[in-house]
Amino acid sequence: MPHKLSEIISWPEQREKAKTYFDSYGWPDNRNEAWKYTSLAHLKEGKFTASSDNAPIDSAPIDSTAQPEGFYVEISGSAVQLPPQDALPNGISITDITADDNARAAAFTHLADNHLLPALSAMHQTSAIAIDIEKTDSAAPLPAVILNLTGSNKEGACYPFVIVRVHKGAEARIAEIHSSHAGLSCPLMVYEVADDAKLQHIRLQAEASHTTHLGLNQMQMGKNSQINSFAISMGGALSRLETHSLFLGSDAELAQSAIYLGRDRQHHDITSFVAHEIRDCASRQLIRGVLDDKARGVFQGKVRVAPDAQKTDGQQMSRALLLSRDAEADAKPELEIFADDVVCSHGATVGELDENLMFYLKSRGIAEEDARNMLIDAFLVDTLDEIEDPDFAAFMTSQINRWSLARR
Amino acid sequence: MNLLEIKNLHASIGDTKILHGINLTINRGEVHAIMGPNGSGKSTLSYVLSGRDGYEVTDGEILLDGESVLEMEADERARAGMFLAFQYPVELPGVTGMSFLRAAVNARRREAGQDEVDQLEFVKLVRAAAADLGVDNEMLKRAVNVGFSGGEKKRYEILQMSLLKPSLAVLDETDSGLDVDALKIVSDGVNAQRGGDCGMLVITHYQRLLSHIVPDFVHILAGGRIIKSGDKSLALEVEENGYAGLVDAA
Residues B209-217 have a mean pLDDT of: 94
Provide the total of helices (H) and of strands (E) in chain A, helices listed first: 6, 21
**What digits encode the pLDDT tens for the residues A139-175?**
888 999 999 998 777 778 999 999 999 999 999 999 9
In A185-268, where does DSSP find H-type helix?
A: none
Q: Which residues of A touch B72 (CB under 8 A)?
A: none
Is the pLDDT at A253 greater than 70, yes or no?
yes
**What digits encode the pLDDT tens for the residues B143-197?**
999 999 998 999 999 999 999 999 999 999 998 888 888 899 889 989 999 978 8
For residue B213, give the 3-state DSSP assignment.
coil
CB atoms A377 and B94 under 8 Å: yes
Nearest to A364 among B51, B53, B78 (CB): B78
CB atoms A366 and B107 under 8 Å: yes
Q: Are strands B217-222 and B225-230 parallel, antiparallel or unpaired?
A: antiparallel
* A305 within 8 A of A312, measured Cβ to Cβ: yes
CA atoms within 13 A on the CB side of A395: 26
pTM, full prediction: 0.89
Q: Which of A163, A180, A255, A179 is nearest to A217 (CA)?
A: A163
Rounded distance between C-alpha atoms, residue A28 and residue A36, angstroms:
9
Rounded distance between C-alpha atoms, residue B60 and residue A87, angstroms:
79
Determine the residue type at A128. Answer: A
Determine the residue type at A104. Answer: R
* A128 within 8 A of A11, measured Cβ to Cβ: no
Quick one: how far is CA B202 from the chain centroid?
6
Q: Which B residues 139-168 touch A at CB under 8 Å? A: 143, 160, 164
CB atoms A356 and B90 under 8 Å: yes
How many CB pairs below 8 Å do chains A and B form together? 75
Residues A223-227 have a mean pLDDT of: 98
Rounded distance between C-alpha atoms, residue B17 and residue B11, angstroms:
6
Is the pLDDT at B125 greater than 80, yes or no?
yes
Residues A99-125 have a mean pLDDT of: 94
* Torsion from C-alpha of B98, B101, B105, B106, nearest 10 degrees: 50
Q: Which residues of B touch A377 (CB under 8 A)?
A: 94
**What digits encode the pLDDT tens for the residues B87-114?**
999 999 999 999 999 999 999 999 999 9
Residues A288-297 have a mean pLDDT of: 97
Residues A322-343 have a mean pLDDT of: 95
User: Hey, what long-range contacts does B224-233 have (CB within 8 A, 24 or more apart)?
Assistant: B224/B17, B224/B18, B224/B19, B224/B20, B224/B21, B224/B22, B224/B40, B224/B41, B224/B44, B225/B19, B225/B20, B225/B21, B225/B22, B225/B250, B226/B22, B226/B23, B226/B24, B226/B34
Is the pLDDT at A60 greater than 90, yes or no?
no
Q: Which residues of B touch A381 (CB under 8 A)?
A: 94
CB atoms B73 and A379 under 8 Å: no
What does residue A405 show for φ and ψ, rounded to 5 degrees? -65, -40
> What is the 3-class SS of A340-360, one letter each residue?
CCCEEEEEEEEECCCHHHHHH
CB atoms A365 and B75 under 8 Å: yes
Q: What is the second-level CATH architecture of the domain B4-249?
A: 3-Layer(aba) Sandwich (3.40)
ipTM: 0.96
Rounded distance between C-alpha atoms, residue B104 and residue B160, angstroms:
9
Q: Which residues of A touch B50 (CB under 8 A)?
A: 363
**What digits encode the pLDDT tens for the residues B47-92?**
999 999 999 999 999 999 999 999 999 999 999 999 999 999 999 9
Q: Which residues of A touch B108 (CB under 8 A)?
A: 365
